[in-house]
Amino acid sequence: MERAYKFRIYPNKTQESLLQKTFGCVRFIYNYFLDKRIKAYEQNKKTISYNECSKELTQLKKEKKWLKEPDKSSLQNALKNLDTAYKNFFNRQKAGFPSIFRK
């Protein structure tokens, strides 16, 4: 038997700020690499792998200092979610093309 629990959190101002920054950075990374993958396919008919995106993420974090504020695993999970969306699109007929991640 499985159980589900609901939790409600009440973050203070600094925690709320960090959560908003994390969500914003995750949204930026997902959309940035989605756009990059679309352009790479349109120009070269080639897809970019998760590993290539991950390597580029480290370079992007050096250029954009504000990407260092949130936890690194949340940014990596954004890349994994994008990669999973691509795999589902190409392997299954039911899944739609990955769309822009909005607020």
Q: What is the largest CA-CA distance in the chain?
A: 51
pLDDT score for 103: 63
CA distances for 65 relative to 19, 28, 81, 96, angstroms: 17, 14, 23, 34
pLDDT score for 102: 67
Note the pTM of the prediction, 2 decimals. Answer: 0.83
Q: Is the CB of residue 100 less than 8 Å from the CB of residue 31?
A: yes
Helical spans, DSSP H, in the chain = 13-44, 50-63, 72-91
Residues of the chain with pLDDT under 70: 93-94, 101-103
Which residues fall within 8 angstroms of residue 34, CB to CB, at 6 or more apart?
Answer: 82, 98, 100, 101
The one-letter amino acid at 82: L
